[in-house]
Amino acid sequence: MSTSAESASNWLRDTQPDDATVQEMVEKLNTRIEQSDESEDKLQGSIEALDVLEHHLNRQQGDTPAYPADTPELDTRPLIDHTGVAPERPADEKRAIFEQLKNQLK
């Protein structure tokens, strides 16, 4: 089996191995990665294949829930209470206030 996430997925789909065989491949990949002197870039395919196989094992054993039990709730409440905000002033009134403030700065 060549080592990439795609090849690992194809291998799982085509051969439908039992958990013991998948575990054996996981151990082989772990050994290859740990004993290799190559850079992480060159080992990336093996690392991705390992992730796919481990995910497959975890899903088969029921260890990977669809959503973690401790997922935090998203707080969608407004950060500021806008109920006390004054209504917007008409444009001519805003312009008059702006001109007044501008004249104060002169």
Condensed to tens digits (0 to 9), the pLDDT of residues 35-49 reads 888 887 788 888 888
Give CA–CA dist 55/12, Å, rounded.
Answer: 11
- Please tell me which residue, 75 or 81, carries the higher pLDDT value: 75
Distances (CA, A) of 46 to 7, 49, 85, 86: 10, 5, 58, 61
pTM: 0.53
Give counts: helices (H), strands (E), the chain: 4, 0
Give CA–CA dist 80/45, Å, rounded.
Answer: 48
Q: Residue 70 gets which letter from DSSP?
A: T
Torsion on CA atoms 80, 83, 84, 88, rounded to nearest 10: 100
In the prediction, which pLDDT does 4 show? 83
Using CB atoms within 10 Å of the CB of residue 99, give its burial: 0 to 12 exposed, 13 to 18 middle, 19+ buried.
exposed
